[in-house]
Chains A and B, each alone.
Chain A
C-alpha cells in the first residue's frame, strides 16, 4: 500500500491516497465542520461548511468530495474559512423556522451544535419566515419542513442504503422541498418501507418519530454507517 504525505494546518500527515480530505482530517482529530456529510452515503458537497484552502488552487474546495494528493498543503482554520462558516450557519438559521425552544431535537440537534461551534451569538440577516408544511400522515414518523436544512441526507440514505427512494427533492432556490414519492403525503407513500433510517440520518428536528416531546429526541446517525459496514462484511 502506498503512503503519501500531506500537510494540514502546518502539520505533516501520512495517509493513503484515494481518501478524501475530510476522512484524513477526521482520522487525525482535525475538526472540519459538516452538515450534509453522513458516513455511509455518498457525499454531495452541498452545505459548503467543509471548504478548505489548498495551496496552488485559487478556489475553496469541499473537503468531503476532494481526494487528497501527494504533498497537498491544506488549511482548514484560516480567518476567511471561519468567517464563511459563520455566514453559512447564519443563513441556515435565517432560511427556515428554526425555533429551538419548541423543537423535539433541542439539545441534540446538529444545527444547534454548529451554531455553538462557530460562536454564533446573533443572526445578522433578516429571517425569511417561509410558510412550511408539517406532514404527520405517516403512522410512526413526522416530517416538519420548518426544521429542514436541505442537507438531503434522508434522500441519500433512502436511495442508497434502504433502496426505496421514497424521498426526493422538488422545486428550485429557496422553494426546494424534500418530497415523498411525487409530492404526496408521506403516509400514502407506496415506496416508503417505514424503516426509519431517514429519522436517524436527519441532523435536525425535521424528521422525527411520533410520541416524542420537546427535547426528547434520540438520533443515532452513526447507525447508517454501521449498517453499511456490516453489509460489506457479509458480502
Chain B
C-alpha cells in the first residue's frame, strides 16, 4: 500500500460510515461484557434486522465509554443518547421509542443518583462535559476490531505524514514541544526519552509498549488497548521511526485476554494493509510489532524487570544505570513507554505539539486518564486536563459519593501512591502537586473512600500487596515489606505498641531509600501518606503493654 491507497481506503471508509443515518454503539469493553453486553449486541442486531433497518442503522461493538459501573451501556448516535444497564428484554421497546418515535425513555438513560435528571444528550452530563479526551479519543465510538473504523477517524494519517514529511529529529522536536510526560507513573519527559534512545548508535533498537498494568483498581491501559488498539500501534510505529527501531514489543499482562486479542487483531490487520512490516507505505522504514504476554507479576511493570521477562528470564529488576535507553532488551538501546503515552502520540502529531502543550498545568502538559473506583457514583474511566481539581473529578465527573456518604480520602497511584484527605480536595491534579501531598500520579488509579474506610487497614492492604508482589531479589523489599506488613497487621488488630509504630516509621524510610527498584522504593508510600494525613487513626490503635484496654491513654 502506498500513500494514495491509504487516502482511498480512508475516503471509502468515511463514505460507508456516512451512508448510515444512525449508529448504535454497544460498549464491549471487558467490564460491560461481564455484565452481558455481547448478548445485548446480538439482540440489537436481530432487532434492527427484523425491522429491516440494517441499511440505515449500524450496530457496532465499541471500547469503553466511561461509566463502567452502569453497564452494559448502549449509545445512540448521532443523538448521543446513552442507555445504562441495558437489559435484553427491553431492547425492542427502546429501539421503538428512540429510533422510530424519537422519544428517549428517560427512566433508562445514563443517570447517577446525585444528579437531578438524566441528560438526553450524554455530552451535557458533567461526567462527559468536564472531560477532554486525547488518549481516549474515539474509544467508545469506533469498532476496535476493524481497521476500517479506525480509518474513518483518519487512522494512520499521522504515521503517513511522519514518514513522508518529517525527519526523526522533527518528530522528536514535536514531541518535546508538546511537553508530554510518561503516563506510566514516573512522569519522565517523553521527548527527552526518545531523544536519548535516538542518540545511541546501534544497528538494532527496540520499542516496548508497557501494558503490564498491575495496580489494584487501575484499568486505563486495558481500556485503551481494548477500545482503540490501532492508535497504540500507530504510536509505536511513529516512535520506532523517531528513535530508529525496527522492532516493537507490546508487553500485555495475561489477565487482559480481550486486550491481547484485540491488539493482536490490530497487528494482523495493519500488517495485511502494509501499515506495519517491511517498507511501510513504500518507504524505507520497516517496523514490526509482536505481543508478549505477562504472567501478572506486578514487578514486571518495572522496565528492567519487563525487559528480563521479554528475554525469557525471571522477571526481576536490575540496578540502573545503565538505563534501558542505553542497554535494554538484549543489550540494545530500548525505548519503553506506557500504553497511554503511545495513545497520546497520534493526536499530538495530528494537532501539533503546541496544541497539546497548552492543555494542563505549566509543568504537566496535556490530559490524564484516571480509573475511578471505590465509593463513587460513576466508577469508570475518565480523561481530564492536568490541573483539574480532585473535587471536580470526584463530585462533578464522578457524581459524588455513593449513598450520599462523606468523602474521606482518595487513593492515587495504587500500591506506590498515597491518600489525599478531604482538606486537599481542591488540589490541582498534576505530577508535582500529588508528590507534594505524599502521593504520586502513578498510572492513574483513583480509589475514592468514604467515612467508613479504615486508613490503617488501607495501608495494611497495600503493604500486603507489595509484600506478595516483591520479587524477593533485594533484602529491604523482600524482608522489609514483610516486617512492615506484620507490624501493620498487629496495629490493626489492636495489639500494636508505641515501639511498633516507631519501628514501622523507621522501616518505611529505610525500605524507600534502599530498595533496588521502584516497587520497593514506593511500597512504603501508602503507609507514609496515611501516617501523615491520618496519624490519629494509628495513635488511637496502639496500646501500652500490660495496661488494660479501658485504662489505655487515649491520645
Residues of chain A touching chain B, judged by Cβ–Cβ distance below 8 Å, are 44-48, 51, 59-62, 65-67, 80, 83-84, 87-88, 91-92, 94-95, 124-126, 128, 149-150, 168-169, 171-176
Contact = CB atoms under 8 A, between A and B. Distances in A.
B479 A94 contact: yes
B475 A172 contact: no
B474 A46 contact: yes
27 contacts: A46-B475, A46-B516, A47-B474, A47-B475, A48-B515, A48-B516, A61-B319, A66-B321, A80-B513, A87-B507, A88-B514, A91-B480, A92-B475, A92-B479, A94-B483, A95-B479, A126-B486, A128-B482, A149-B475, A169-B314, A172-B471, A173-B468, A173-B471, A173-B482, A174-B472, A174-B478, A176-B471
Contact of A172 (B468, B474, B513): B468
Interface string B311-325: 000100011010000
Contacts of B481: 173
Contacts of B294: none
B318 A91 contact: no
B473 interface: yes
Interface string B436-470: 00000000000000000000000000000001111
Nearest to A65: B319
A176 B513 CA distance: 22
A88 B478 contact: no
A108 B483 CA distance: 28
Q: Which of A172, A175, A176 has the most CB of B within 10 A?
A: A172
Given A87-B507, A172-B471, A125 B514 contact: no
Nearest to B511: A87
Nearest to A92: B475
Contacts of B297: 172
A48 B468 contact: no
Contacts of B299: 172
Contacts of B482: 95, 128, 173-174
Q: Which of A60, A62, A67, A174 has the most CB of B within 10 A?
A: A174
A175 B479 CA distance: 10
B323 to A, nearest CB: 13
Nearest to B479: A91
Interface in B499-549: 503, 506-507, 510, 513-516
Interface of B: 297, 299, 314, 318-319, 321, 467-476, 478-483, 486, 503, 506-507, 510, 513-516
Contacts of B318: 44-45
Contacts of A128: 479, 482
B476 A150 contact: no
Contact of B470 (A51, A168, A173): A173
Contacts of B503: 124-125
Contact of B478 (A61, A65, A150): A150
A126 B515 CA distance: 21
Contacts of A173: 467-472, 478, 481-482
A35 to B, nearest CB: 8
B382 to A, nearest CB: 33
A215 to B, nearest CB: 26
A62 B513 CA distance: 12
A126 B321 CA distance: 35
Contacts of A149: 475
Contact of B475 (A48, A67, A126): A48
A62 B475 CA distance: 13
A138 to B, nearest CB: 23
A48 B511 CA distance: 10
B415 to A, nearest CB: 13
Top 8 closest A-B pairs, CB basis? A176-B472, A45-B319, A91-B479, A65-B319, A173-B470, A48-B514, A95-B479, A46-B474
B475 A60 contact: no
Contacts of A92: 475, 479
Contact of B469 (A47, A169, A172): A172
B513 A44 contact: no
Given A87-B507, A91-B483, 14 more contacts: A45-B319, A48-B474, A95-B479, A125-B503, A128-B482, A150-B478, A169-B314, A172-B469, A172-B470, A172-B472, A173-B467, A173-B468, A173-B481, A175-B472
Q: Which of A65, A80, A87, A88 has the most CB of B within 10 A?
A: A87
A168 B478 contact: no
A67 B322 CA distance: 10
Given A44-B318, A92-B475, A84 B510 contact: yes
Given A95-B479, A174-B482, A46 B473 contact: yes
B137 to A, nearest CB: 37
A84 B471 contact: no
Contacts of B480: 91
A176 to B, nearest CB: 3
Given A48-B516, A84-B510, A84-B513, A171 B475 contact: no
Q: Which of A45, A59, A60, A171 has the most CB of B within 10 A?
A: A45
A226 B188 CA distance: 43
Nearest to B516: A45
Nearest to B317: A45
A174 B471 CA distance: 9
A36 to B, nearest CB: 9
A95 B476 CA distance: 11
